[in-house]
Structures are given as C-alpha cells and as structure tokens.
Amino acid sequence: MRILITGAAGFLGSHLCDRLLADGHEVIGMDNFITGSPDNIAHLAVNDNFSFYKRDVSNYIFVPGKVDAILHFASPASPNPQSKSGYFNLPIQTMKAGALGTHNCLGVARINNARFLLASTSEIYGDPEVHPQAETYAGNVDPVGERAVYDEAKRFAESLTMAYHRFHNVNTSIVRIFNTYGPRMDLEDGRALPNLLKQALLGQPLTVYGDGSQTRSFCYVEDLIDGIVKLLYSDEHYPVNIGNQHEMSILQFAEAINKITGNQAGIVYHENSRSARDPQMRQPDITRAQTILNWEPKVALEEGLRRTIPFFKEKLGLA
Amino acid sequence: MRILITGAAGFLGSHLCDRLLADGHEVIGMDNFITGSPDNIAHLAVNDNFSFYKRDVSNYIFVPGKVDAILHFASPASPNPQSKSGYFNLPIQTMKAGALGTHNCLGVARINNARFLLASTSEIYGDPEVHPQAETYAGNVDPVGERAVYDEAKRFAESLTMAYHRFHNVNTSIVRIFNTYGPRMDLEDGRALPNLLKQALLGQPLTVYGDGSQTRSFCYVEDLIDGIVKLLYSDEHYPVNIGNQHEMSILQFAEAINKITGNQAGIVYHENSRSARDPQMRQPDITRAQTILNWEPKVALEEGLRRTIPFFKEKLGLA
C-alpha cells in the first residue's frame, strides 16, 4: 500500500513509519515539527520507500498520486503545562489539528477511496468515573476546562470521522491510544513514566505526588504499534482501545524503576497540587481489541524499560 | 454597538436581530439559508440599521469596518432525522459550523477587540445523569453516536472559545441554550412541542412516545433572547445556562396543549422507538443566570403558547 502518515516525526508516528516500511509499504510522512523532531525520522532518509513533506496538515494536504491509507497522528499530545510543545501552550494549534487536520485527511481519504485511521486517545474519557474504560463509556470531560483543548479536539475528530463514514461511506477507523512509552518519547512529556525514569537515571530520588495511589497503565510502544497496524488492516469502523491493561499505582512504578535502574536515591513525596487535574485512574478495557483484532500487549514493564533506557541515557548525555 | 450575527435568518438569530435593533444597535446579519429562512428577516429589509450578507460562515467571514460584538448562531439545530435541514442530514456542515465557523468568528472578534458570544446548547450535556444540569456538569455524550455531530461540534466550539479567551485574551461568552419555542420556530424541528402543537391545531390526537413520563423544560423565545442579551452586555466568560427551569412531563405538555387549543382528539401512545435516543430528562439549573445576570424566565407556558399559535396557524394554512 501507499500510506500517508501525518505527525510522522512524532513519537508514535515515527514508529509507525518504521513498522509499515518493514511490512513492505510505501510511506509518505508529513510533519510541521512543532512537536515532532527530524531526529525521529533521520534514519529513514536513505529508505527509497519513504518520502517526506514538511507541512502543517491543518492548513492543507496535497499528495501527488494515489494513496491507499491515511493515518492522522499529527497533534500536540503532551499534558505538561511547562512543555513548550504541550497542548497547554499550543491550545489553538491542538484544536486545529483535531478539527481542520482531521477534515483535510478525511477529504483526501474520500477522494482516494482510502482507509483512514484516526489517532484518538484515552483522554476522550477525561477523568473517568467508570473503571476500566470500555469504548462505550461516554467519558467525563469538562468542555471549558484547561485540558479540554486536547480532549475535545479528539472527541470532535472522532465524531467527524464517524460522520464521514456514515455519510460519505469513507472506510474509517479510530484507535483510542492509552499511555505509551519507549524510545523517541518526549522526556519532557510530563507524564509519570518519563519523569520517574529520568530521575532514576540521574540518580535522583523519584518524586511521587500525593500518596502515589493514583494508577496508570503503560504500554510499550512496539505493542501499541502492533495493535494500530492490526486495526489498520482490519475493516473495523468503531473505536478500539489499544493500551496495556496491567494497572499499577504510581508508587509501584517508582519502586520498579528504582529497582531496574539500580537507583539508590529512594522516593520523595510531594503534595498533590500538580496532579490535581490529572485523572486518578486510567486503565483500558481491551476486550474489543482482543476479540476483533486478536491483539494484546506482550512486552512486560521490566522488558520495556530495558529497551527504553538506552534512549533516555543518550538524551540525558549519559550514554 | 455594531453587531455581527451569524445564523441571522434562523429562529433565534432573527429574534436576536429584532431585539438588538430595538436596543439601538446596528446589526449585520449573515446566513447561508441552509436552515434559516429569508422570511424570518424579510421585515428588516426596510431597517436602515440592518444589513445582510448571504454567506457560509464556515468558509470565511468578511465584514467591512469595525464590529463591536459577534454572536455566532449559525448551525443546523434540529434533531429530527426526517428533517432535511436537521443535523442528521447535514452532519458535516454541522461540524464545520461548530469548528470552522467558530474559528472564523473568533478571528474576527480578535482583530476587532470585540465581545464574542457563542450559541452553545444543552445538548453538550448529552443524555444527562445529573438533574437538573448545572454548568459544571461534564455531560454524557458518546462522541461516536449519531447525535454526536451536533453535541461534539458545540463542545468543540466551547473549548475553542475558552482557548481564545485564555490564550488570546478575547472577550468571549458562552450561552448554553435549552429547549425554546415561539414564532419562527421550525415546525419540522422534531422536538416535542412543535410536534404536539401542530397536531393539536390540526385537530389530530397528540402522539406521545412511551408513557409520556420523559420530561422537558421549554422556554419562550422572548425570555431566552433577554437572557442572551443580558449575557452579551455582561463581562462573564464562563458558560451560562439559559432556559426555563419549569419541568413538565411530555404527557403534561400534551394535556396543556389540548386544553389551550381546545383540541378534542385526545392523546395516542406510541412505542418508544423514535425517542429512545432522546434524552429522558433535560432541565436547566439557572442559578448562574439568576446570580450573574439577574435573569429568569417570565412567560408562563400558557401565555407563550398563545403568542406562538398564530405563527403555527399561518404556517399550517389555518390563519
């Protein structure tokens, strides 16, 4: 297939390029580098099946020739208020990527009769009151909250995708991506795993907010990409959660990370101010992925961390 | 003030034009007539303070000269699956009016330092699990449901509006409009009140779905417009519910309508198939409007119906 990937220079987008090229496809990447990095796709410059256009997909998309599939992964995604490339500091670009970017992609999918895959997110569930979250859960998002720019952009993108499927018969699919980690992730992403791993590798005590009882489920990137590609190759139209259902408390995470990295500096507890707006619990119900795609994650946390640590060390200048 | 109103030829938009002209403002109306009607603004053709541009505000907005306020009321709004101008049959136009239309309006507000007022809706609460609905309630909307095109478009519009306020310091406001009735409403709107009133005036038995215990709260249009204008004149930025808090069951409505119209044909009960996707309960908590705007509805149902009946009779050829 000839496949267009927006956000190709991002964490997930670049892994998708690698995987789809390995599967024998031709890949066209697009990115405007406001959150993605040229480093993530530098190794693809010598691949004859890969081409790249620097472009803001919220403005327009033009692809010479026919495409068979479009994966829309372009969006700021970091919830870190301190991150310049996070959605708190790029609120309007984030909403445009979800609305105008998705609209442009769906237009290209429609005229090409192409399969469309939308990168949605567990954030559409907001701060969930149902646990774990199945795809039927409507979520708990305050549309005028500060986080809402990302959440509502993705909810809108999902609705627009289904509208194109129902009204224009476009072959669409929607993946709801849960927390993911691995090489090429943004160390300043603001989520618990990179924060803790960074501290551990620097020999610092790990900062745990509150009592550390809030839970997370982290999926290794290779597992996640495998689920996305299985969805792409399927004919499913309704949203599918892809993530690791193995839930751990932040405190358990911190202890596991200290153990794997051999960090002796222990754990310090901070007041809960920063994480007050973070969801307290987040865990995917992956029954649909198991049933429809025959997919489930395979890489255990210890193994995933081992594969991720070299990347973190390099970024931290410790390699 | 010089005030731009999108959706000016719609039910609410045209009443807003009337009220703001009566208040001494200059009004510029825009509409593409896909759901609005030239009839609704025909009487304004001789008003020197009113001008009109036929335009799809999702494409672009250009207004000669400075504007002081922009009210974005353009959107399909009828939930009737049979209505050609309802959002079931205009799903993509509906999403564009919420995303691109709002974006265009906010751009104009920003360069003009103008007050912006977004017409949002009680539909952002979806099928509410909290009763009555206060502005803090996050709602219960399935983003991939068929109704979601309208709900998510408005949720997105609210988020984008708040983003422009927070990030670009635009003077924004958001009204969440609950069920409204009155002259110029769409008789094919699909909601309970026009359906029942139409049947009553035609001397037919009123159709009640299920057991008629589902509740609605209907606000007379003049009350609603008064609340919106008070919000426009205020400096409030967070969403404000405007609607009538007087809740009645559909059965009570039907009985009241038969009484007022003198309809002798009674009531027939139908299976709940059509209304299964309709919210079971919808009632505004108007504490914020009472507190911040000193507003509450004044027109009782009987009086509102009496003022509405001549319009219905004319449309039905009974005048």
ipTM over 0.90: yes
Position B163 pLDDT exceeds 50:
yes
0.90 exceeded by pTM: yes
Interhelix angle B148-168/A148-168, nearest 10 degrees: 150
Task: Supply the DSSP symbol for A97.
Answer: I
Q: Do you know the residue count of chain A?
A: 319
- CATH number of the domain at B63, please: 3.40.50.720
* Cβ-Cβ contacts under 8 Å for B271 (sequence gap 6 or more): B209, B210
The predicted structure's pLDDT at residue A189:
85
Domain assignment present for A276: no
Tens digit of each residue's pLDDT (9 = 90 or more) over B249-272: 999 999 999 999 999 999 999 987
Q: Residue A128 in contact with residue A279, Cβ under 8 Å? A: yes
Residue A278's pLDDT is 64
Q: How many structural domains does chain B have?
A: 1
Question: Do the domain assignments include residue A69?
Answer: yes
CA distance to partner chain B, nearest, from residue A160 (Å): 7
Q: What is the mean pLDDT of residues B69-84?
A: 93
**Residue A87 main-chain phi, psi, to 5 deg:** -75, -15
User: What is the residue-averaged pLDDT of chain B?
Assistant: 94
List Cα–Cα distances, A241 to A228, A282, B149, in angstroms.
Answer: 10, 12, 21
Its domain, for residue A129, covers 2-184+220-244+284-298
- Across the interface, of A124, A146, A163, the residue whose CB is closest to B95 is A163
Q: Is B220 a catalytic site residue? A: no
pLDDT given at position B215: 85
3-state secondary structure of B105: helix
Asked if A159 and B174 come within 8 Å (Cβ–Cβ), the reply is no
Determine contact: B129 vs chain A, CB below 8 A: no
In a domain, A277, yes or no: no
| Residue A95 located in a structural domain | yes
A152–B158: do the CB atoms touch at under 8 Å?
yes
As a whole number, mean pLDDT of residues B75-103 equals 94
How, if at all, do strands B248-249 and B215-216 pair? Answer: antiparallel
Q: How confident is the model at residue B284 (pLDDT cuts 50, 70, 90)?
A: very high
pLDDT over threshold 70, residue B18: yes
| B140 three-class SS | strand
Residue type, A72: H
Scan residues 209-248 of B and list those with Cβ closer than 8 Å to A.
238-239
CB contact under 8 A, B156 and A95: yes
CB contact under 8 A, A138 and B136: no
pLDDT at B245: 94
Residue A306 belongs to some domain of the structure: no
Helices (H), A238-300: 250-261, 287-293
B103: closest chain A residue by CA: A96
Q: How far apart (Å, rounded) are the C-alpha atoms in residues B21 and B2? A: 10
- Which tens digits make up the pLDDT trace of B195-239? 999 999 999 999 998 889 888 889 999 999 999 999 999 999 999
Distance from CA of residue B132 to its chain's centroid? 19
The identity of residue B55, as a single letter, is: R
Classify burial at A106, counting beta carbons within 10 Å of its beta carbon; exposed 0-12, middle 13-18, buried 19 or more. buried
pLDDT at position A277:
56
Q: Using 50, 70 and 90 to split pLDDT, how confident is the model at B191?
A: confident
CA A258 → CA A217, A262, A264, distances in Å?
Answer: 18, 6, 7
Residues of A in contact with B96 (CB under 8 A): 103
Does the residue B63 lie in any domain?
Answer: yes
| CA distance to partner chain A, nearest, from residue B89 (Å) | 8
Q: How far is CA B12 from CA B59, B87, B88, B126, in A?
A: 22, 17, 20, 21
Residue in chain B nearest A139 by alpha carbon: B140
Query: A32: closest CA among A14, A47, A54, A49?
Result: A54
A158 in contact with chain B, both atoms CB, cutoff 8 A: yes
Is residue B43 one of the residues assigned to a domain? yes
Q: Does B169 touch chain A (CB under 8 A)?
A: no
Asked, for residue A137, whether it belongs to a domain, the answer is yes
Cα distance between residue B174 and residue B232, in whole Å: 9
- Annotated catalytic residue: which of A60, A125, A137, A150? A150
pLDDT of residue B278: 64
Tell me: pLDDT of B131 over 80: yes
> What does the pLDDT profile of chain A (319 residues) look like in tens digits?
999 999 999 999 999 999 999 999 999 999 999 999 999 999 999 999 999 999 999 999 988 899 999 999 999 999 888 888 899 999 999 999 999 999 999 999 999 999 999 999 999 999 999 999 999 999 999 999 998 999 999 999 999 999 999 999 999 999 999 999 999 999 988 888 999 999 999 999 999 988 898 888 899 999 999 999 999 999 999 999 999 999 999 999 999 999 999 999 999 999 875 544 566 778 999 999 999 999 999 999 999 999 999 999 999 999 7
A114 contact partners, CB below 8 Å, separation of at least 6: A67, A68, A69, A70, A108, A171
